[in-house]
Structure 1
Amino acid sequence: MEIILSPEELERVRQNRKEIEKRFQDLEGLEMTLETLKFEYLLEHRDNLKAKLEEMKRMYAELVELEEKAKRDREFLMMVREELSRENRDLRRELEERKNENNR
């Protein structure tokens, strides 16, 4: 098992060295130290999971927003396409009529 300490935690360990050594001599103190370490690890793990969950929620909201924008954009482009198609049809008909008039 490896214990990683921040510089601040390492300084606290150095300051409380005698108390820590006394705890390790005492089985009950050792169990209490291990419980404390386990609890701190679980709290840290919980905090990391909360942060990841918040990030996932944010990313999901962005994805939903992007999906809605894509739907709106698609609807707009379909309307533009329909309008262009209608205009194109009208222009072809008009050209055909002019062509027929010029042939007479």
Structure 2
Amino acid sequence: MEIEVTNDELRRIRKNKREIEARFRNLEGLERTLRVLKLRLLTEQRERVEKRLIEMRANYIELTEFEEIAKRDKEFLMAFRKELSEENKRLRAELEAMKK
């Protein structure tokens, strides 16, 4: 790549060489800082996502365990309800027999 400058511009460039070099060094420093900050941000985001994934897995395990407990409880309650119904029928029959 070639850059064409006039003699006036060349004299100003030579005069301001240190300032220009400082700007480029500063620019490179800023770019490095930006890369470091970007890497830090991505690392933090990854850590948050990993933490959330662990939480979601734990919640899923709890949910499936709760679902199994709920199924067993429902089966128990249905059996208990059936026993109560049968006992209720028997007691009604005894009451009807006593009335006669």
- TM bucket (normalised to shorter chain) is 0.7 to 0.9
Residue 81 of structure 1 is matched in structure 2 by 70
Percent identical residues? 9
Q: CA RMSD in A?
A: 1.7
Q: So what's the TM-score if we normalise by structure 2?
A: 0.73
| Distance in 1 between residues matched to 2:40 and 2:80, nearest whole Å | 59
Structure 1 unaligned segments of length 5 or more: list them.
Answer: 1-24
Q: Offset at 1:26?
A: 3.0
> Which of 42, 54, 57 matches 1:65?
54
Runs of 4+ residues over 3 Å off in structure 1: none
Please tell me whether residue 40 in structure 1 is matched to residue 40 in structure 2. Answer: no
Q: Which runs of 5+ in 2 are unaligned?
A: 1-13, 94-100
Deviation at 1:51, TM superposition (A): 1.0
For 2:78 and 2:51, locate their aligned partners in 1 and report how far apart those are by CA, in whole Å: 40
Q: Give the letter for the 1:91 counterpart.
A: F
Pairing 1:55–2:37 present: no
Q: How many residues align?
A: 81
Q: The residue matched to 1:87 in structure 2 has which SS?
A: helix
TM normalised by structure 1 equals 0.70
